[in-house]
A = this chain, B = another copy of it.
């Protein structure tokens, strides 16, 4: 089983910052050119236009063309720039008396009106070419024109450099969609999903099956949307995922299923969660973890946008235990270092009380991260806000230590640590001039979690100060594997509950532990992480009825 969240991925591509917008705008035509290595879509089949605005080049010189587009701007009633999804083209308004009606239409139509023009592709006069514009060598000398729809005054101009608030963009969504960025996003998503379908359906024989939306309630899981049926007192639910359907499809012998599936969770909106979202939903029979990971790597490699660097597979893989120890999370952002280091051994004989305290407890440890050039880029108030964050959110003491810095904001405790452990720290953590160490102590998981959060906070702070830690062109994929199969129940830690769900298969090496130390059993669940976000995940399912019964009845007392 594997599900990969499309909606989130989509957001990942649509970050509307100026810089990325520029990159992407440049690449719109590149994408179209590259996909022509397959076969260029005929964008003008079946319709009134002969060409798109963006495609005209010197090779079209002399051709009679018909274009349909939106008026981007007009210059001195002589030129008009027409726009469609493909690009911009300059149109010459005829000035002859005999073309007075055409001139009237083109000069009077407000900006953003939709027009259809026919005319001849001609060279721009020498010196008037525009090398920044893909169509900048030519222009279209108009013979006939029709106003398809006139535009009234708009709430904002359709120009990429015009800043709009998010609220205004959402209110006038149909106008916002005219921007290059939004056109690019929607078209990229469509192309990427299409390539995913080609890979699954045409290359690997998966069957695309639509499962029902009006369904029964599933116990457990997220809050569901409820729909009254025609029978009083009876309700449908919108599915959280096609989980049960696809399991039944496997039983039914449809041994390779996929669906671009809509899922519903009545849990409000957050930046990375929406009440309805879409996932690529996959289920295979007779497969193991290696197989499903290869399938997904191949899927992403095949469908990866042509204007990005090709993906290198296999993706690196990390155990859950390692992810927690080094990054304090099960979804590490591996675009940058700043890993968590265990420095407990250095402090076995410390006299600092809160370190002694931590180390005397089970799972107690001293942990640290090193912020390169932190002393140069972070201000005193940054460090203070980091310490406050740790105290407020984790009730955890964090000490900033400047092992080699000339500046020194150390607290008295930190100074005494420094005296004793300075050289050890410098050696173990490869400290450079101007580095800052953030140090904390406590139970292993908690200490790692707080430093994992601080690692990301510090990266944000450093980047706000101009340092580039996370290359925006980098896509750092990572498999996280070997999750625990069970966790202690929150309300009753003596009992176990499934870490994911009770159908996840145990790790083959840990089968015997099920009967002796079930809390130590690793599962065959795997997550796919991209730049610190979980973008997909799944598991090998139990297909052995006896094992499933043992887990449900004996271990989970279900």
Contact = CB atoms under 8 A, between A and B. Distances in A.
A221 interface: no
Given A41-B202, A177-B252, A253-B177, A214 B47 contact: no
Interface in A188-238: 190-191, 193-194, 197-198, 201-210, 212-214, 225-228, 230, 236, 238
A294 interface: yes
A252 B187 CA distance: 13
B183 A254 contact: yes
A181 to B, nearest CB: 12
Contacts of A214: 225, 264, 275-276
Given A42-B203, A43-B205, A204-B41, A288 B178 contact: no
A205 B266 CA distance: 35
A402 interface: no
A206 B210 CA distance: 21
A213 B149 CA distance: 30
Given A190-B208, A213-B213, A253-B177, A284 B230 contact: no
A295 B42 CA distance: 12
A38 interface: yes
Contacts of A43: 204-205, 256
A204 B149 CA distance: 25
A245 to B, nearest CB: 10
Contacts of A173: 248, 252
Contacts of A210: 262, 278
| A interface residue count range (under 10 / 10 to 19 / 20 to 34 / 35 or more) | 35 or more
Contacts of A175: 251-252
A286 B41 contact: no
Contacts of A42: 203-205
A111 B22 CA distance: 62
Nearest to A194: B201
A213 B46 contact: no
B286 A116 contact: yes
A85 interface: yes
A271 interface: no
Contacts of A264: 213-214
B544 A178 contact: no
Given A85-B255, A149-B543, A287-B46, A227 B230 contact: no
Given A84-B253, A248-B173, A204 B286 contact: no
Given A47-B287, A230-B268, A253 B294 contact: no
A23 interface: no
A231 to B, nearest CB: 11
A186 interface: yes
A228 B226 contact: yes
A70 B253 CA distance: 9
Contacts of A187: 207
A446 interface: no
Contacts of A383: none
Contacts of A543: 148-149
A174 interface: yes
A312 interface: no
Interface string A283-302: 01111100110110000000
A49 interface: yes
A249 interface: yes
A153 interface: no
Interface in A340-397: none
A545 interface: yes
A124 to B, nearest CB: 26
Given A39-B203, A148-B543, A276-B214, A209 B227 contact: no
Nearest to A49: B286
A167 interface: no
A399 interface: no
A190 B207 contact: yes
Given A207-B190, A213-B262, A284 B253 contact: no
A473 interface: no
B251 A204 contact: no
Contacts of A47: 284-287, 291
30 contacts: A41-B203, A42-B203, A42-B205, A43-B204, A43-B256, A46-B292, A47-B284, A47-B285, A47-B287, A48-B288, A48-B291, A68-B255, A68-B286, A84-B253, A85-B254, A149-B544, A150-B545, A173-B248, A174-B249, A177-B249, A177-B254, A178-B252, A178-B253, A194-B202, A194-B208, A197-B197, A210-B262, A213-B238, A225-B236, A227-B227
Query: 4 closest A-B pairs (Cβ-Cβ)?
Result: A177-B252, A41-B205, A46-B291, A43-B205
Given A42-B204, A194-B208, A230-B266, 7 more contacts: A39-B202, A43-B256, A47-B285, A68-B255, A177-B248, A225-B236, A226-B228
